[in-house]
Structure 1
């Protein structure tokens, strides 16, 4: 799983250093695409195929489904980790982030990881520090013990 947050550099050629613990998870192939909330998403090939299958199953006559399809698939590129642990971020995705080079935040999300500018990530972190909002968020996550083990 992709877990944790790391700060890494995007060089002038658009290559982003990937955290060492994430690299082995990308060995079977990966894809990068535009994410939600002004970030990029990097998915293993297996997870990207699952997302693709879900998109393919959506009703093409639904305008929202078509927009989602365009958002994810027209911005998706296969990527490989080079010998020193970098991936190439395509130019249009760097433009989307608004950075030609510099520091970025790599944030694990379980099945995938996100790439953020530090300023946009700081905005996300501010949202995540709202105690009252977190109480409401966590109330939707049932953390009670299940009875399935005792049945």
Structure 2
């Protein structure tokens, strides 16, 4: 996890340790829990294929598929390791222009978070790991 600064064009520099996962092209899209998700082209295609299969089996809605597809955009990583986050994705994630963001490696993908939102999810996750209060307020 690293804090980074969004520039005036909506670009953020990805940490060098994450760039090798993506290659020169990647996909940005609306992630779960209000973040911006970044996947390699191959990982994005796998996720899209899986979602299509889940819709066919009735495990996910066509509305979810539409929202996923509509939010996705192919992005190039420039020579400085930056990707541009569209105004729509920034709005979805609550990221203000020229603000700080959290760039997080999440096992098989990268997430970009508005710092306060990430703090809430990080606290909830830590509480679950330690057996403390979960998001619903109940003890495990």
- Out of 92-101 and 10-19, give the one that drifted further: 92-101
RMSD of the TM alignment (CA)? 2.1
Alignment correspondent of 1:140:
none
- Look up the SS of the partner of 1:37 in the other structure: helix
4+ residue segments displaced more than 6 Å: none
* Unpaired runs of at least 5, structure 1: 135-151
User: Structure 2: how far apart are the matches of 1:48 and 1:31?
Assistant: 7
Query: Are the equivalent residues in 1 in contact too, given 2:24–2:77 (CA < 8 A)?
Result: no
Alignment correspondent of 2:131:
132
- 1:41 equivalenced with 2:37 (yes/no): yes
Alignment correspondent of 1:15:
11
Alignment correspondent of 1:93:
89
CA deviation string 1:44-93 (max 9, x = no partner): 11110101111222345959421221221110000111011100101100
Q: How far off is 1:109 after superposition?
A: 1.2
Aligned 1:2-151 pairs, distance under 5 A: 5-59=1-55, 62=58, 64-98=60-94, 99-130=96-127, 131-133=130-132
Larger radius of gyration, structure 1 or 2? 1
* Unpaired runs of at least 5, structure 2: 134-140
- Out of 60-69 and 42-51, give the one that drifted further: 60-69
